[in-house]
Amino acid sequence: MEDAFGQMLLDGADTEIIERDDGFIDTAKFFYFAPVTRWPAVERRALRWVRGRVLDAGLGAGRVALELQRRGRSVVGIDNSPGAVEVARERGVRDVRLLAFEEVDDSLGRFDTIVMLGNGFGLFGSPSKARRLLRRLRPLADRIVAASIGPQAYATDNPAHLAYQERNRKRGRMPGQLRLRVRYRDLSGPWFDYLFVSPDEMASILEGTQWRITRLLQSGSPYYVAILE
């Protein structure tokens, strides 16, 4: 398994190449090293809901963990990319573990807040996996602060996107359930499911999990942060 994402962070490259399983490919400008002043407004606002002992799930280069440490929080950061873990550690995140989100259990201790910014709700992968993980996280944390992006961001008139959503529906997948991989130079990362949901879709996933959305931070764009308790 090639750590394309981690190598990209290690090199400090400034463009991410993301490939979808239908061959659609696109680039995104790098956000992983952005200081808090350059974050989306809803993410800056979301920091107010982060209290106590924190798990940063999907650490990346550590931008969120570093900002929380600066604000005096005790942070455990996890990522399943060895390169990301190395970069975050070098940049000063104090407690970093090489661990996939789905492997989180009580061996990490209890948390006041689990932080999943940077579109982090996507790590839940699929509705069924999301429900399973949310139930498991229930006794481990009081609050989840998770960012996602509503389907208005992908429900465009672009025929390639419409065809992909139709294919998803035929397969019983959610329209915003994307199978992606990162490519970087000669490396191809593992394929993974990444879940984009509207606030309504998120609420319906939460049913029966003992989690609910207690606050929604929005800013006119499809990108939003939900506070789950």
Q: Does residue 22 touch a second copy according to CB under 8 A? A: yes
Q: How near is the Cβ of 39 to a second copy at its closest, in Å?
A: 22
Residue 114 phi, psi (nearest 5):
-105, 125
| CA pair distance 221, 223, nearest whole angstrom | 5
Of 108, 117, 78, 68, nearest to 227 (Cα)?
117
Q: Considering the complex, what minimum distance in angstroms separates the CB of residue 83 from a second copy?
A: 16
Residues of span 109-138 touching a second copy by CB under 8 A: none
Among 121, 184, 194, 196, binds a second copy (CB under 8 A): 184
Per CB under 8 A, the segment of 16-24, 88-96, 172-180, 204-212 that binds a second copy is: 16-24
Per CB under 8 A, which region of 95-103, 121-129, 140-148, 154-162 contacts a second copy?
A: 154-162
Give the CA angle between residues 221, 156, 46 to the nearest 5°: 20
Least distance in angstroms from the C-beta of 29 to a second copy: 9
Three-class DSSP labels, 32-96:
CCCCHHHCCHHHHHHHHHCCCEEEEECCCCCHHHHHHHHCCCEEEEEECCHHHHHHHHHCCCCEE
Give least dist CB 2 to a second copy, A. Answer: 10
The residues pairing with 77 across neighbouring beta strands, listed in sequence order, are 56, 96
- Of 119, 126, 168, 188, the one binding a second copy (CB under 8 A) is 188
Interacting residues toward a second copy by CB under 8 A: 15, 17, 22-27, 158-160, 183-186, 188
